[in-house]
Amino acid sequence: MELTQLQYFVAVAESLHMTRTAERLHVAQPALSQAISRLERELGVLLFKRERRQLTLTVYGAYLLERLRAPLSVLADLPAELQELAKGERTTIRLNVLAATSLVTDAIVAYQQNHPATHFKLLQSAEATDCDIVVSNAPVYDPDHTAGGMMLEEHIFLAVSDGGRYGNRSEIALADVAEENFISLGGSRQFRGICDRFCLQAGFAPQVGFESDNPASVKKLIAAHAGVGFWPEFSWGRCSDPDVRLLAITDVDCRRNLLLQKRETGGAKHEVSEFFTFLCDFVQEKKAAALI
pLDDT at 157 over 90: yes
Residue whose C-alpha is closest to residue 233's, from 256, 210, 252, 211:
256
Q: What is the average per-residue pLDDT within 47-73?
A: 86
What H or E segment, with its residue span, contains residue 271? helix 270-291
Count of beta carbons in the 10 Å neighbourhood of residue 80: 9
30-40 residue pLDDT tens? 998 899 899 88
d(C-alpha 129, C-alpha 161), whole Å: 41
Q: What is the average per-residue pLDDT within 162-184?
A: 89
d(C-alpha 156, C-alpha 102), whole Å: 16
pLDDT at 123 over 90: no
163 with 147: CB under 8 angstroms?
A: no
209 with 229: CB under 8 angstroms?
A: no
Please, what is the end-to-end C-alpha distance for the chain in angstroms? 74
185-237 residue pLDDT tens? 875 567 888 899 999 999 999 999 888 877 778 888 887 888 999 999 888 87
Higher-pLDDT residue of 143 and 290 is: 290
Which domains are assigned to the chain? 3-80 (1.10.10.10), 93-291 (3.40.190.290)
pLDDT at 6 over 90: no
291 with 152: CB under 8 angstroms?
A: no
Q: What is the average per-residue pLDDT within 61-70?
A: 87
